[in-house]
Amino acid sequence: MLLLFFVVMLSAQEKKYVTIQRTHNLMGTNFDIVIVAESETAALKNIDYIVNEIKRIEKLISSWDTSSETSLINKNAGIQPVKVSAEIFDLIKRSISLSKLTKGAFDITFASMNTVWKFDGSLKNLPSHDEINSSISSVGYENIMLNQELSTVFLPRVGMKIGFDAIGKGYAVDKAKELMQSKKVFAGAISSTGDLVTWGRQASGEKWIYGIANPQKREDILTWLPLDESAVATSDNYKKYIVFNGEKYSHIIDPRTGYPTKGINRVSVFSKSAEFSDAIATAIFVMGVKAGLEFAKQLDNIEIIIVDVENHIHKTNGIKIDASN
């Protein structure tokens, strides 16, 4: 038995793997896909599987696709329930649970505020208090009506909308990882605008690592953190914001008040699920530094890093950063 074990281990060590990386524009942004496989052909084939899976998910959850299940739910707000796939039903159900967990700091019904706050350069004046108050009258995860038996979703108020901007990419990379693991793909990493999942190890046998940017000089890496069968999601306001009268307004809106969040520049959340990390990163942005840290400490198996508007770093105890960097 000992000899057999040694032979098996020797064979595994001699097995060669290749690492292939490709970038695809999906869901309106770039996805970087890295696959570690026994051949380039196998790696490229699995990258195609991932691309098709993400396209499939986008078709379900996109608010821009008029035929998506999300669009159909929104079109029928205040009119009638919409029968949806089990996949969308479960995603909405989990989103409501996350809203309850975060006391409304994360809320997929925030989408009705998209007509008030615009961050594409078209907004000429700040929204009025009346406009903001009107928009949040349609916000409220508590109002989403689910019928498990019929698999229907109903938004009871005209003008009410749901959107998966704060969870959709995390969900997509989780599903792509799940697909690869079902196909016994040796290892890989899938990332998109702050959302990253990994499985297995690099071809060298080392863990995947994630670079934390230095808030004082973002082109530099402050520290590298190992990722082992885990995920990270980062939300920031470095690129997407508006400025009026010298004041910066973040694109991350507090769904409870209708106003842009303040006090934080970046949040990174490490957990086993990109979907979970994605939603929690947004929620902590809304909560603020102190409340966000206290909230994270109450959860199991997550770590967070917050960079405030003064570029000071706040983190949970499991994150180790060399103070000399």
147-160 pLDDT, tens digit per residue, is 999 999 999 999 99
Q: What is the CATH number of domain 65-154?
A: 1.10.3980.10
Give the span between the Cα atoms of 8 and 27, in whole angstroms.
43
pLDDT of residue 244: 87
pLDDT band at 178 (very low <50, low <70, confident <90, very high): very high
Name residue 89's amino acid: F
- Which of 167, 170, 289, 285 minimizes the C-alpha distance to 237? 285
Q: What is the pLDDT of residues 223-247, one digit of tens each?
A: 888 898 899 999 998 888 888 888 8
What CA–CA distance (Å, rounded) separates 55 from 26? Answer: 7
Q: How far apart are CA 229 and CA 196, in angstroms?
A: 11
The alpha-carbon radius of gyration of the chain (Å, integer) is 21
pLDDT above 60 for 83: yes
Place of tokens 């999601």: 233
Q: Is the pLDDT of residue 5 over 80?
A: no
Give this prediction's pTM: 0.91
Tokens representing 255 are 């769904």
Any idea what the Cα angle at residue 92 is, between residues 88 and 95, rounded to 5°?
Answer: 140
**Residue 259 in contact with residue 244, Cβ under 8 Å?**
no
The confidence score (pLDDT) of residue 16 equals 84
Residue positions forming the annotated binding site for Mg(2+): 166, 278, 282
Indicate the DSSP class of residue 78.
Answer: T
Q: Cβ(210)–Cβ(271) under 8 Å?
A: no
Packing angle between helix 274-287 and helix 168-182, nearest 10 degrees?
160
pLDDT confidence tier of residue 325, bands split at 50, 70 and 90: very low
Residue 157's pLDDT is: 93
Give the pLDDT confidence score for residue 322 in this predicted structure. Answer: 62
- Region 82-91: mean pLDDT is 98
Return binding residues. Answer: 166, 278, 282
d(Cα 111, Cα 132) in Å, to the nearest integer?
Answer: 13
CA distance 127 to 24: 36
Q: How would you list the strands of the sheet with 145-147, edge to edge? A: 82-83, 152-154, 145-147
Complete edge-to-edge strand list for the sheet that includes strand 313-315: 18-26, 29-37, 187-192, 195-199, 231-236, 264-271, 303-308, 313-315
N- to C-terminal Cα separation, the chain: 49
Quickly list DSSP for 262-290. Answer: -SEEEEEEEES-HHHHHHHHHHHHHH-HH
pLDDT value of position 1: 32
